[in-house]
Structure 1
Amino acid sequence: MQERAPSSRANAERDAIVGRDAEVERLSALAADASGGGRVLLMSGATGMGKSVLLEHAARVAGEAGRRVLRASGCESERDLAFAGLHQLLRPVLAEAAHLPDRQRRALLGAFGVLPDAPDSLLTGIAVLTLLSQLAERAPLMVVLDDAQWIDSASADVLAFAARRLDDDPITLLAAVRDDDLGAPPVGVREGGPSFDRRPGFDREFPTLVLPPLDHTASRRLLGLRAPGLTSRIRQRVLDQAAGNPLALLELAEHASLNPDEHGPLPVGRRLAAIYAARLAELPEAGRQALLLLAAADVEDPPDAVLALLPDADHKVWLAVEESGLIRRAGRHLRFRHPLVRSAIYHTAPFGARMEAHRKLADALRHEPDRRAWHLAAASLHPDAEVSAALEQTADRARRRGGYAAAAKALARAAELHPRRDDSARLLADAAGVAVFTGDLPWVEELAGRARARTDDPALLAAASLHVGRLSALTRQHAASFNDLAAIAGDLAATHPAIALDALAAAAVLRFYSGEESQRREIDRLLPHLPAGPLREWAQIVSDPFGGGRELAPLLPDRIAAAGGRFGSGNRGGAGGAGGRPERLTALAIAAWVLDETPLAVRAFDEAVQSWRTAGPLPDGLGGVVALAYFEYGRWDRARQVCAEIGALPAAAGLDHAVACARAIEAMVVAPQGDAAGARALADEALRLVDPLESRSVAVYAHRALTAAAMVEGDYEAAYEYARMVFDINGDPVHYHASYPALPELAESATRSGHHAEAIEIIECSARTLARGGSPRLRSLVHRSRALLAEPEHAGPAFLAALADPALERWPFERAQALLEYAEWLRRRRRIAEARPFLTAAYDTFRRLGAWPWSERAQAELRAAGLDISPADPGAFAGLSPQQQQIVRLAARGLTNREIGERLFLSPRTVGSHLYRTFPKLGVTARSQLRDVVEAAAVDGPPD
């Protein structure tokens, strides 16, 4: 058991190193490699960047590789004790000094006071070098120095002397130093440079590994691992204030719940607060006040109005403040030296002093109403209608900018400060409605609960429940959420029709998600009791597009053109929020997409999605529809980008349906691009996240992706099994809207696997339904499916019917597939001349989309038709951007997307996106072909 314990600790340690993959790889290689001569590496970074954790990892790797490890840590209290650091390092091996030459032995022991000889720096350095070399003869050696900025100068000089002369000895020296020494005044430190610049021995001649702040992805991951219970809004506050510093992330997260809603820095623990309070107490009163004002302002590089409250730049107080090591100052630019400093200064100040600081800031910021409102709120101890109104106005401005989290927070604080209970409840209900847009379901539930506790007004009670229901729609509990929303619509239809319409529109979203027929019947029952208008029409379209909804298609272009006006009553899942243009456009675009007016939908999405991106990762209502529209319209890169943004929702949000939808749709995109394994992984994850009976739409999209993946691999029996799951045992669609586009996939896989009879029955059943209300696109898919299943002599008219409408070019992949299938039929009928133009058009479309399996199939048909399709000109490589050329070179050498990203400082997803865009330009269909492209272009690989 004792032997396994270190391994367990090592695993935990490795798990804790988040966002430092490149650094871990470099240190691991350095620690494990004992083949060459001496190596020195200095690791520099701000306090809390993870230097000690990385050193611990390197030491463990070195030990596992059979190296002997000597360690020392600088100690602030010993920084003036000569040779204290060297003694700490060599104490475990000091007995080896007996084997040194006599003069070296006496110099070394004299430095430690063991012998009366006066210290000789040169002889001591030689003695240390000899001693380390002796040790390295028995086993490779690693010397690890932590907090080297605090190692005494004498030790630093001797160790640096030895480090410069390691030569061929198998010795590695790793030293970590702070570049923002918060333990002492930064006297003599070059601004922006590492602290070891003031250590006489460790200068910049040694290789240096600088630890930057963690990026946003790594910060979120670390926070998720170490503080998984944080709500989304608290998590975001921690991320914003920590600025990528791991220590600050964990420290702020640990104490965030102590003061979750206060405007200003989050609190820190008692230990750090005490340290900074002591340092603050040493400053003059003017210095303390200046730092508290800066901390209360809670912004980097404060505006001139705040700077005007501080002492003049040449005031003597700044010397003491700078010597405290708490801030950096360059002229009028002031910044705290570490994210935790601001928090500690703010929360260690007396409560009255904080209030006074906020009042001064509010007075100074009269021309910045949003900041002023928050400072007034922070200084308010009792209800104040004027401050509440100012915050409500702040919320309105934030909402118009797409800042939904900020708007909800302002409304919640306005509710706390409003003296009237009903108005307070109204503000909390509004806050819950705006918070829906953040995707933070627990926060919405909390705000709605607080609103319900303050009112008996049935309209406010229903509005609060409605907001929870809208966001609950993105979880997996669709049946319960639908029942709640339908009940609201029924109860308030007569007395509060606007709220009832909102509820019914949100219920229509759930009907789309679940595909449950009984829900359509309930919506049809309630609709006649609600006032006519765009929102009612929207609910009808989404719930029943092949019934009365189809008749509304001609109205959509004018509605989208007029989207600058108000559409709906603030419905997130349906027809728009509180008057914001992105919500209205998104809702109208959803309606257009549902009715197969895809080009119209895409144009509206183009405008709306950019606004959504500034607001957060969660698009309105049927968010996955945005990605589906782009996919169907042939903009596959954009579809994957939208999927990535939705799929990035934190697991803590519990919005499993939204994430599953993104995964399933991305699987539909990557399958025709030839990534069958990736499509299966995404589709399987989507199916794992949802209940297929609660989220039939997601289940259908996932099974369509699995069908395409199986077809890419030529497994048509499996493809048919997956396609068959898109229709129920009676042959009816599993989902009233999502199933029908799978008809050609069902037909082709049936043709190639011997399931003609069953497939024909399903297609004819679907044809009868679509004949009444289906779009031209869907009727074209029926013709194409019939052609695939028809006897060869009878397929021609069905193919021609499928291709008859030129408007079907709006769905380029589907049309190219139909062109290819028709051309294959023509060639097999020996009508080769007729087949060639169809093959060429299909091939060009597949190449443009990056649908490599289909382009290869079209290429083979073209060759069979007597047309030689040559690979792209090798000169195409020169037409790539420099960054794309680098990516292609590295991919040609076999590096993974992750490895390429680490070298070029890109995310793996970005690398993959670049490769997908370059493949058609280079005329390749797989990574294995890139080596030939690079060699043909006579381009040397990049230097290692």
Structure 2
Amino acid sequence: MTVGVGPRFVGREAEVAALVGEIGDGSALVVVEGEPGIGKSRLVRHVLGEAVGRTVLWCTAPALSEPFPLGPVVDGIRRLSPDRVPDGLSPMAGALRPLFPEWARLLPPPLDPLETAGATRHRLFRALGELLDRLAVDVLVLEDAHWADTTTLELLLTLVASGGGNRSLVVTYRPAEVAEAPALLRLTSRSPAGMRLVRIALGPLSVRETGQLVGSMFDGEQVSADFAAFLRERTDGVPLAVEECVRLLADRRDVVRRGGRWIRRVLGDLEVPATVRDSVLERLTRIPGVGRRLLETAAVLGMPADAAMLAEVAGISRAEAGEGLAVALSAGLLQESGAGRFVFRHGLDAQAVGESMPVSRRRLLHARATDVWARRAPDALERLAHHSREAGELGAWCRYAEAGADVALESGDDRNAVGLLLQLLDTEVDTAPDAVHGPAERRRRLATKLGEAVFYGGAALGDIVDTAVEAIHRVIADPRVGKADGGELRLLLGRMLWRAGRRRAAFTEFEATVPDLGHRPDLAGITMCSLAMPVVPGWPATRHLGWLSRAEEHAARADSTHLRVAVGTARAATLLLLGDASAWASIGALHRPTHTGPRDMSVHATGLLNVAAAALPWGRYEETRGLLRAAAALIPDAEHHRVAEGSRLIEATLAWHTGAWDGLAPAMRRLADAETTEVHDALVARLLAGLVRGASEAGLENETELRTVARQLSVLGIAEPVALLPWAFLGRRALQDGDAQRALDVTAPAAEAVAAKGVWLWFADLAPLHAEALARSGRRAEAEAFVGAFTRAVEPSLAPVAAGAVHLCGAVLAEHDEDVAGAAELYRSAASVWAGIPRPYDELLALEGVGRCLLADGRRADGRRADGLGVLRDVRTRLTALGAARDGDRIARVLREQGEDVVRTWRRGRRGYGDALSPREREVLVLVARGLTNREAAEELFLSPRTVGRHLESAMRKLHVTTRTAAATTAMEAGLLATGSDSASDGTTH
């Protein structure tokens, strides 16, 4: 995997505005300060790199031990004008011959020597000033001024003293190294005469800006918030460190793409990029004796420490520590963090120093740190584990690391717990100090803890789940681990895989573990309940029912309240999913808890949510909401956070079906993008967001997203009613496009899977589409046979969704047979069923069928045509109000074809603003000024990149500029982007 050529400029909006405004308004001395890699040069080059109508002289001071006098300015002039000497130079320019020998034949004759060096320097400065005037230099930039020679800095002092010569000066430097350049202090500490002094101090990037920077390295694609926060923490938001670390992670393939975004694997320490390492070590070489020892000690400690701790670990006296700290602080690597506590400014700097030490010295310092922490804070397990491991004290590390993993598990830090436990399992020791039962017991205990950590934190652990699965499989295969322990580990492994969305693999582990759980009848019964749920492809209904029967027999023999509760809810959920209406008779009793313990209540709440999800295909939504309320009533007492979150997707699915679409798509996108969301839940959330956006927007992007999500659900082995929703949406779109074969390609595989499993109720949304696709493809007899089989398999009288689907199936067949009057009545019956559930989107699509049939009937009776037009007008209005703008537009086209005068709905088109910027154009320019690409701006504004490009082109034309940067700069200078209200919408509905 490779990253892009380079990151784009992000953030720094205030600094950009200040630099643009000051340089564009007469002469100014702009001083940009910041630590190495913070982005000083990038800021200046971003603003001046595309400067229109300005001549910029770029001068950079190299880090030479003996810099050449005026070298940065001379080199900059050579690059600016390599082949010609400007006309009109006075005899004073003869002083430039020693600096520009290649121009000797073109410069005036040499001047007579002067008596003093000061007079000679003054004459040379006058000559250089004249040369800058003749070259029409508007802005002189000196980068890395802390490395500049004294003569160069004195030239700038001379230019400033003369008011800048109607030009601006921009100076970038590192504050920590100014003390070594007194001339630079004189330049930056005084307000110049006739010039404005502007100071810009660059700080670190925020988490959001870090994410934008990283995303730009992956062609502008999105990165996860957790990945951005991880990099921001480890690099302290220094752009250069972020950039270099991302390149290293990409080279190591520690960044992976999942769910349309880039995320990270579980990582320990970042490798120090070479550019960061070399910069730190260059400064380290200039720090003598005790100061360097303290820096090495601070690097090993890795956290704020007082002088006493630093002295004790370094093995020096308190007096020596005081002197050394003063030296270390002056180097800019160390900083005071709180009263009397010191730490490296950046973690990567500390890592670079630590890695530069000989191994023997580093281990000695870690051993001392272990002893100091053990005395000062024996409960600082993370510190003790880290230092003991680095010191090579394996036994102590095992003890501290496992204790640290226990604390991490209790506090919900699953990522850290998993990392520690994987390290412990990979460390072979004959016996650990607290493992009184020997190595086998130690490995079983660690594997159990690992499984629990992955189970509770698996959604955010990425591909580390595979590593954990392999580790636990190795423990199960260990002959020293008994059958009973192996069975419990395999059950835990199945639960891990379930949480990771891998249903087929999970069920394989569940089946394999039941024979090994004879010693734990409660676990065996719960596992049977899981196997009874018909949510895995390839298993027929009889196989699930067999496991349900075994679970009921097992619960009858076991004395376990929570097992009886689990079996009761599993029975209801299983039968509902299989379309067996007898389950409804027992659901009322499930609402009434007969237990009080937190564990039983948690099991009951989870079971009720499973029943609520299984009830969704029936369309009995009030009863489904009752199950959700009953589950919610148990959650506070059970203190089971996952149960509380478990109802969110059921409620969101209800919102899709019942037309409560307002805010649904962005809420589901946020849920899908959250690192803690399980794989299955993230896919369903993406599915629901795609359905809403697909109904409201034209284009292939949402259909591609829905197809991708549907395939990912299939690959993971997730078979459930909601997984068929994208195929229903795609099949409907294909039929609306007149492509019956494309619709069959969508519906036929789903029909075969449903028939094989015997869960016909799940197919209610797809059945009318499949029948229509068959009929349109010339397979009318097959369509009729399919409708008959579907009608016999479901119970329309008890399942409103099935009733609506049966009416629609009859309608599409009647319409295909040109019985438009009969079809209209069947469509109307279906719409009535959908209205009663309610499912307004399906109701309106059925009413569209009514209007279409009435129009067709109108060819024979004019009165029916008027009725049909009236129905379609009403349907279009209601679809638009619902949010299904795409469907509303389709019906509008039909009405126009019928001669109706339909007002076109204006959505994001260009209005008549003349030469003034429209509100949308100003919004685009604001984002361009922030450094966003067209794609990123499109995501911010919910537009397509092409639309953003059109707005940007229009704005550039109105502003009479030819580049993006010039457009943003010109608009900013004109005050067109001054306030949020200026760039807001004009109140027109978009």
TM-score, length-scaled by structure 2:
0.64
Displacement of 1:852: 0.6
In 2, Cα distance between the equivalents of 1:315 and 1:378?
27
The number of residues matched between the two structures is 842
Does the Cα contact within 8 Å between 1:326 and 1:336 map onto a contact in 2? yes
Displacement of 1:724: 3.6
In 1, Cα distance between the equivalents of 2:187 and 2:782?
77
Does the Cα contact within 8 Å between 1:441 and 1:471 map onto a contact in 2? no
In 1, Cα distance between the equivalents of 2:584 and 2:771?
29
In 1, Cα distance between the equivalents of 2:877 and 2:508?
50
- Which consecutive unaligned segments of at least 5 residues does structure 1 have? 1-11, 303-309, 875-887, 916-926, 928-938
Match of residue 537, structure 2, among 501, 515, 532: 515
In 1, Cα distance between the equivalents of 2:686 and 2:751?
23
Distance 1:789 1:412, change over 3 A: same
Counterpart of 2:703 in structure 1: which amino acid?
Answer: R
Displacement of 1:772: 8.0
Displacement of 1:766: 2.0
> 2:37 maps to what in 1?
48
Distance 1:133 1:15, change over 3 A: farther
In 1, Cα distance between the equivalents of 2:369 and 2:253?
21
> 1:679 maps to what in 2?
702
Displacement of 1:429: 2.8
Match of residue 656, structure 2, among 624, 631, 635: 631
Does the Cα contact within 8 Å between 2:572 and 2:583 map onto a contact in 1? yes
Displacement of 1:381: 4.4
Distance 1:444 1:716, change over 3 A: closer
Match of residue 93, structure 2, among 95, 98, 105: 105
Distance 1:490 1:37, change over 3 A: same
> 1:884 maps to what in 2?
none
Match of residue 415, structure 2, among 405, 411, 424: 405
In 1, Cα distance between the equivalents of 2:514 and 2:799?
32
Note if 1:794 corresponds to 2:813: no
Displacement of 1:619: 12
Distance 1:640 1:758, change over 3 A: farther
Note if 1:770 corresponds to 2:808: no
In 2, Cα distance between the equivalents of 1:44 and 1:735?
71
In 1, Cα distance between the equivalents of 2:183 and 2:482?
64
Note if 1:846 corresponds to 2:879: yes
Displacement of 1:83: 2.0
Does the Cα contact within 8 Å between 1:619 and 1:646 map onto a contact in 2? no
Distance 1:866 1:44, change over 3 A: farther
In 2, Cα distance between the equivalents of 1:590 and 1:345?
56
> 1:248 maps to what in 2?
241
Does the Cα contact within 8 Å between 1:891 and 1:897 map onto a contact in 2? no
Does the Cα contact within 8 Å between 1:459 and 1:499 map onto a contact in 2? no
Distance 1:525 1:128, change over 3 A: farther
In 2, Cα distance between the equivalents of 1:844 and 1:605?
38
Structure 2 residue matching 1:671: 3-state secondary structure: helix
Distance 1:110 1:631, change over 3 A: same
In 1, Cα distance between the equivalents of 2:758 and 2:43?
52
Instruction: Write out per-residue CA displacement over residues 556-583 of structure 1, whole angstroms, 9 at most, x where no aligned residue.
Output: 788689799656999xxxx79xxxx9x7
Distance 1:633 1:376, change over 3 A: farther
> 1:931 maps to what in 2?
none
Displacement of 1:323: 1.8
Distance 1:894 1:635, change over 3 A: same
Counterpart of 1:458 in structure 2: which amino acid?
Answer: K
> 2:9 maps to what in 1?
20
Instruction: Write out per-residue CA displacement over residues 809-839 of structure 1, whole angstroms, 9 at most, x where no aligned residue.
Output: 5534234434555577679785899999988
Distance 1:406 1:540, change over 3 A: farther
In 1, Cα distance between the equivalents of 2:627 and 2:926?
33
Displacement of 1:151: 2.9
Distance 1:414 1:861, change over 3 A: same
Higher relative contact order (CA 8 A, sep 6+): 2
In 1, Cα distance between the equivalents of 2:54 and 2:634?
59
Match of residue 394, structure 1, among 375, 389, 407: 407
Max radius of gyration: which structure? 2
Instruction: Write out per-residue CA displacement over residues 576-598 of structure 1, whole angstroms, 9 at most, x where no aligned residue.
Output: 9xxxx9x7887565445466555
> 2:966 maps to what in 1?
none
Note if 1:382 corresponds to 2:403: no
Distance 1:354 1:158, change over 3 A: same
Counterpart of 1:682 in structure 2: which amino acid?
Answer: E
> 2:172 maps to what in 1?
177
Instruction: Write out per-residue CA displacement over residues 510-565 of structure 1, whole angstroms, 9 at most, x where no aligned residue.
Output: x63x53244x4443344433444455566666766443775555767886897996
Structure 1 residue matching 2:172: 3-state secondary structure: strand
- Which consecutive unaligned segments of at least 5 residues does structure 2 have? 105-109, 255-264, 310-316, 556-562, 908-916, 945-953, 955-980, 986-990
In 2, Cα distance between the equivalents of 1:890 and 1:289?
56
Aligned pairs for 1:380-529 (under 5 A) are 381-383=394-396, 387=400, 390-391=403-404, 393-399=406-412, 403-409=413-419, 419=435, 420-421=438-439, 422-436=441-455, 437-439=457-459, 440=461, 442-451=463-472, 452-453=474-475, 456-466=481-491, 469=494, 481=505, 484-492=508-516, 494-500=518-524, 512=535, 515-518=537-540, 520-529=541-550
> 1:705 maps to what in 2?
729
Note if 1:217 corresponds to 2:208: no
Distance 1:203 1:505, change over 3 A: farther
Aligned pairs for 1:592-741 (under 5 A) are 592-593=615-616, 597=621, 599=625, 628-636=653-661, 639-641=664-666, 644=669, 648=673, 664-686=687-709, 700-710=724-734, 714-715=737-738, 717=740, 720-721=743-744, 724-725=747-748, 727-728=750-751, 732=755, 736=759, 739-741=763-765
Distance 1:786 1:242, change over 3 A: farther
Distance 1:826 1:609, change over 3 A: farther
Distance 1:889 1:290, change over 3 A: farther
Counterpart of 1:404 in structure 2: which amino acid?
Answer: D
Counterpart of 1:631 in structure 2: which amino acid?
Answer: W
Structure 2 residue matching 1:177: 3-state secondary structure: strand
Instruction: Write out per-residue CA displacement over residues 411-451 of structure 1, whole angstroms, 9 at most, x where no aligned residue.
Output: 55787765353144223332233224334354234334444
In 1, Cα distance between the equivalents of 2:774 and 2:299?
73
Distance 1:499 1:659, change over 3 A: same
Distance 1:608 1:634, change over 3 A: farther
Distance 1:78 1:249, change over 3 A: same
Note if 1:817 corresponds to 2:824: no
Aligned pairs for 1:528-567 (under 5 A) are 528-530=549-551, 531-532=554-555, 533=563, 534-536=565-567, 545-547=576-578, 551-552=582-583
Does the Cα contact within 8 Å between 2:418 and 2:453 map onto a contact in 1? yes
Does the Cα contact within 8 Å between 2:92 and 2:123 map onto a contact in 1? yes
Displacement of 1:382: 1.8
Does the Cα contact within 8 Å between 1:45 and 1:212 map onto a contact in 2? no
Distance 1:159 1:474, change over 3 A: farther
Which deviates more from structure 2 when the two are superposed, residues 149-158 or residues 327-336? 327-336
Displacement of 1:251: 5.8
Counterpart of 2:241 in structure 1: which amino acid?
Answer: A
Match of residue 362, structure 2, among 350, 374, 383: 350
Displacement of 1:325: 0.9
In 1, Cα distance between the equivalents of 2:182 and 2:568?
71
In 2, Cα distance between the equivalents of 1:873 and 1:98?
57
Does the Cα contact within 8 Å between 1:824 and 1:835 map onto a contact in 2? yes
Which deviates more from structure 2 when the two are superposed, residues 793-802 or residues 428-437? 793-802
In 2, Cα distance between the equivalents of 1:294 and 1:869?
73
Displacement of 1:672: 0.9
Structure 2 residue matching 1:771: 3-state secondary structure: coil
Instruction: Write out per-residue CA displacement over residues 351-410 of structure 1, whole angstroms, 9 at most, x where no aligned residue.
Output: 3433544565566668999889988998974258975674355234323xxx43244346
Structure 2 residue matching 1:382: 3-state secondary structure: helix
Instruction: Write out per-residue CA displacement over residues 636-668 of structure 1, whole angstroms, 9 at most, x where no aligned residue.
Output: 465534653576599xx9x99887666555433
Note if 1:337 corresponds to 2:345: yes
Structure 2 residue matching 1:16: 3-state secondary structure: coil
In 2, Cα distance between the equivalents of 1:900 and 1:755?
58
Displacement of 1:95: 8.1
Structure 2 residue matching 1:523: 3-state secondary structure: helix
Counterpart of 1:911 in structure 2: which amino acid?
Answer: E
Supply the RMSD in Å over aligned alpha carbons. Answer: 6.8
Distance 1:225 1:863, change over 3 A: closer
